[in-house]
Structure 1
Amino acid sequence: MWLNNNVTEFVLLGLTQDPVRKKIVFVTFLIFYLGTLIGNLLIIATIKTSQTLGSPMYFFLFHLSLSDTCFATSIATRMIVDALLKNATITFNECIMQVFSFHFFGCLEIFILILMAVDRYVAICKPLRYTTIMNHRVCGVLVAVAWVGSCVHSLTQIFLALSIPFCGPNVIDHYFCDLQPLLKLACADTYVTNLLLVSNSGAICTVSFVMLMVSYVIILYSLRNHSAEGRKKALSTCISHIMVVILFFGPCIFIYTRPATTFSKDKMIAVFYTIGTPLFNPLIYTLRNAEVKNAMRMLWSKKLISDDKR
């Protein structure tokens, strides 16, 4: 089907076509993206260099920050550049690659969030067996499975995208390539493709969200048997995770679990999980986590000391 397409490039309308508003979009999202990069790369560097952050929770947080960085980069960089252009275009091949990278790192984030919930469940509900169950080898295998699973999901999205025939028009009313806006441009019936999309992306989002919320309800219920200090620490960690889950999954479920209809507010809702969540994650995990903040202070102190010696 790919070779039969008459469309070689798409026009991205972005968030707005107004020249003044496009400048505002450029400045705003450049700041957001730089904040995302600084926050997530700081977490990555802190976990990688700190000897106190060697637990599985921080191993998973490292991969969450890595996926957040790549996830935001796959969308924000082109969005920022396109805001400076009068007519933003993207080639068919680039569009397909963006669909792959967007779904790959988005799905990876979902799987990492599930692994973080599993880690907290074992740590709080089975503390005596925690080090045995969540050892380094098991954590490594789980993360590897998450990466492979994300790749399988993304390849499925690519298969669906390549099965759509395009013969014009080529204007995408969005700021990045995804299957929903692409389905509107198809010159064939897309009912089956949309059904597959909902059963794939929609099911992953909905089932994962339900699993995560149920797991955290169980965790919070089990905290009644812990000491006041242990309950406070575990509660702080779980609340951070729940905030991230709601921020990410709420918009995703709204977008990917409905029929092939698009609304004018879809683009603004997509901003929450494409730009907002990668920016908020480092803030949530650092501001509510004393261990990460202390490790960051130590990393900063070491840097200042090394700079003074020079």
Structure 2
Amino acid sequence: MTILVTGAGGHVGRAVLDALVAAGQDVRASSRDATKLDVPDGVAKVSADLEDASTLEPALDGVSAVFLYVRPQGIEGFVKVAEAAGVRHVVLLSSGATLEPQAAQSRIARLHRVVEEALIAAPFAETLLNPGSFATNTLGWRADIAEGVVRTPYPDSRVGSIHERDIGEVAAKILADGSHAGQALQLTGPEPISFREQAAVLADVLGRPLRVEELSPEQAAERMAALGWPPEVPPEVLRAVERTTREPSAVTDVVREVTGHAPRTFRQWAEEHRADFA
């Protein structure tokens, strides 16, 4: 049984890859340019563009299960090629936005929901992973941290920040045993933690003081636009973040239920990623 991991160069994709290798699974890693992938010994690499179905046949040949990133523009082609290849199970990295009450008004949720619905309608099994806030989001603070500051809107927003290794291990377990078919799993860290608290943890782990500077929504939107975010997305994201200053993000025990261990804390993530902030 060969398992294909798409987006294997990303934080979550690599975590899935590592967990599958540790479990002794036969794994194939893919990205648009596989020559740039750094993978464990013995892992095959293949170039595949999820938005171009003509590149998918070699990647899916002999594959029984797939870890998939969201690419709405290519999902119909993916489903067709995956069905022809005999794929039996797809585990999708979706978004917690699709589970929110305001999902119908959310562009982010709609883009993810297009892929979810295509997989639900497909002839093979699907499992949807719906994480909320990623601990890796704080890597976006690196330039500010180098100046001794964390700049963020709504520093007291409380989110269920999740370690990418927990997502990876959940996905790997499901890919390996074919469980949780037809389910949408809301993945979170162990507790709601504010951005201010995350900054304090990073200061402690890095051994240097970090002051928190609150950005206005307008300043935050400008920063996001400078990073290439579509103009309609920052206001939507910021509204969701503001809401968690009043209603902390829900947390679940799904990581423990699937993997058998508690989700990792933000401190564990920070300690593992200390070098990323050097």
TM over 0.5: no
Q: Comparing both structures, which one devotes a greater share of its residues to helix?
A: 1
| Structure with the larger RCO, 1 or 2 (CA within 8 Å, 6+ apart) | 1
Pair member with larger Rg: 1
TM-score, normalisation: structure 2: 0.23
Q: Comparing both structures, which one devotes a greater share of its residues to strand?
A: 2
